[in-house]
């Protein structure tokens, strides 16, 4: 069995998640890609244990992560059971339901029927009694939000999740869910939005609402799925996400315009003594975020990205230059 490094808590930063008692590592590890059924077990263990040794305590899953849907939870369950059972109380496991998981009218969106059945399935796949955070993965245009809120409240009261959150909710939807949950006596602890240098608008629009409500923010895709790294500067590597069967990153996105921006961003990163992946990671964290969820295909990427924490201040000039390269207006 794996033995965690004694110094694992020495250099990671832990941020309070909104107004809750929960602290999360400033960097989390996500299992959307590279933890599915075809993934190499030893490589997955290497990534999870390397992350944990570096102080990453938060591991982000969803019912549908794979492929096949559910296989990332099965793999994480295997790792927790075989390698890390001694550390369960030092680990935050998140999962979600909201996207299509099984056929028929009960395997999607936000009904009480779906959320409760899905979490039961997730717990079985991971071999856990409870998850630490359970998210409603996306808003449901049909189910009354009161029903989704009552299901989330029930899940906390039944002990199957310690905290609840939402993902991809607009500011107005977030405000509504926070109010409904508050009335039921269960706080909305966390929101999970997309946020990176290229895709900024969703989080920047949401952030004032989260601050006002005291809801934490755990942002996904800080590296724009690998575009904000040096991964594609010499072509499309065979072992990269863009070359994989993932439907989420199309090679069309890797065009000359993007590569030109990436080269210029890399020059800014180099002046800071960082790789572009490192700069993009801490660029997210310069904001009032609780945590960024990094994806990885190998442990060395996690090591590199965590090292960025030692240089997370930006000068006004650097921020302006990044904004200019990406054609964004300067932001605070």
> Binder to ligand NDP among 121, 186, 192, 274 (CB under 6 A)?
192
Q: Is residue 98 within 8 Å of 109, Cβ to Cβ?
A: yes
Is there binding between residue 75 and ligand NDP (CB under 6 A)?
A: no
In the complex, the smallest distance separating the C-beta of residue 226 from ligand NDP, rounded to whole angstroms, is 3
CA atoms within 13 A on the CB side of 290: 27
In the complex, what is the shortest distance from the CB of residue 22 to ligand NDP, in angstroms, rounded to a whole number?
A: 17
Q: What residues have CB less than 8 Å from 292, skipping those under 6 apart?
A: 26, 27, 28, 195, 218, 219, 222, 281, 284, 285
Determine, following the binding rule CB under 6 A, whether residue 167 of this chain makes contact with ligand NDP.
yes
* Number of shown-chain residues binding ligand NDP (CB under 6 A): 29
The CB density around residue 180, as the number of other CB atoms within 10 Å, is 20
Smallest separation, CB 225 to ligand NDP (Å): 4
Does residue 31 belong to the site contacting ligand NDP (CB under 6 A)? yes
> Do residues 87 and 94 lie in contact, with contact meaning Cβ atoms separated by under 8 Å?
no
Tell which one of 39, 149, 223, 285 touches ligand NDP (CB under 6 A): 223
70 binds ligand NDP, rule: CB under 6 A = no
Q: In degrees to the nearest 10, what's the CA dihedral of 102, 104, 107, 113?
A: -140
Closest distance of CB 134 from ligand NDP, Å: 13
Evaluate whether 161 touches 134 at the Cβ level (below 8 Å).
Answer: yes
- CB contact set of 121 (below 8 Å; sequence gap of 6+): 63, 70, 101
Candidates 12, 16, 15, 86; CA nearest to 50 is 12
- Are the C-beta atoms of residues 177 and 168 closer than 8 Å to each other? no
Out of 51, 224, 282, 285, the residue judged to bind ligand NDP by CB under 6 A: 224
Q: Which is nearer to ligand NDP, 172 or 239 (CB)?
A: 239
Q: Does 301 bind ligand NDP (CB under 6 A)?
A: yes
Residue placing its CB nearer to ligand NDP in the complex, 187 or 193? 193
Q: Is residue 305 within the footprint of ligand NDP (CB under 6 A)?
A: yes
Q: Does 131 engage in binding with ligand NDP (CB under 6 A)?
A: no
Selected from 115, 221, 269, 309, the binder of ligand NDP by CB under 6 A is 221
Residues that bind ligand NDP (CB under 6 A): 30-33, 60, 137, 167-168, 192, 220-226, 229, 231, 240-241, 277, 293-297, 301, 304-305
């Amino acid at each position: 069995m794996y033995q965690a490094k004694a110094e694992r808590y020495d250099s990671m930063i832990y941020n309070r998640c909104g107004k809750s008692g929960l602290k999360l590592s400033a960097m989390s590890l996500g299992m959307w890609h590279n933890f599915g059924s075809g993934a190499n077990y030893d490589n997955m263990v290497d990534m999870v244990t390397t992350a944990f040794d570096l102080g990453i305590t938060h591991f982000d899953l969803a019912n549908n992560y794979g492929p096949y849907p559910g296989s990332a939870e099965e793999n994480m369950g295997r790792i927790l059971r075989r390698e890390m059972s001694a550390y369960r109380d030092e680990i935050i496991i998140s999962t979600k339901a909201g996207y299509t998981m099984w056929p028929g009218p009960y395997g999607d969106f936000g009904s009480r029927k779906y959320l409760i059945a899905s979490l039961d399935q997730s717990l079985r796949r991971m071999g856990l009694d409870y998850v630490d955070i359970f998210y409603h993965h996306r808003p449901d245009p049909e189910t009354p939000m009161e029903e989704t809120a009552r299901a989330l409240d029930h899940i906390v009261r039944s002990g199957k999740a310690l905290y609840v959150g939402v993902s991809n909710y607009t500011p107005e939807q977030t405000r509504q869910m926070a109010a409904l949950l508050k009335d039921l006596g269960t706080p909305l602890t966390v929101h999970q939005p997309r946020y990176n240098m290229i895709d900024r608008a969703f989080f920047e629009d949401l952030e004032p609402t989260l601050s006002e409500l005291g809801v934490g923010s755990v942002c996904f895709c800080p590296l724009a799925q690998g575009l904000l790294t040096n991964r594609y500067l010499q072509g499309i590597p065979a072992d990269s996400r863009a070359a994989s069967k993932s439907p989420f990153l199309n090679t069309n996105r890797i065009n000359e315009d993007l590569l030109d921006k990436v080269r210029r961003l890399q020059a800014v990163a180099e002046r800071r003594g960082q790789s572009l992946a490192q700069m993009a990671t801490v660029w997210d964290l310069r904001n009032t975020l609780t945590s960024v969820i990094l994806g990885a295909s190998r442990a060395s990427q996690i090591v590199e990205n965590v090292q960025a924490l030692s240089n997370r201040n930006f000068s006004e000039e650097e921020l302006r230059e990044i904004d200019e390269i990406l054609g964004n207006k300067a932001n605070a």
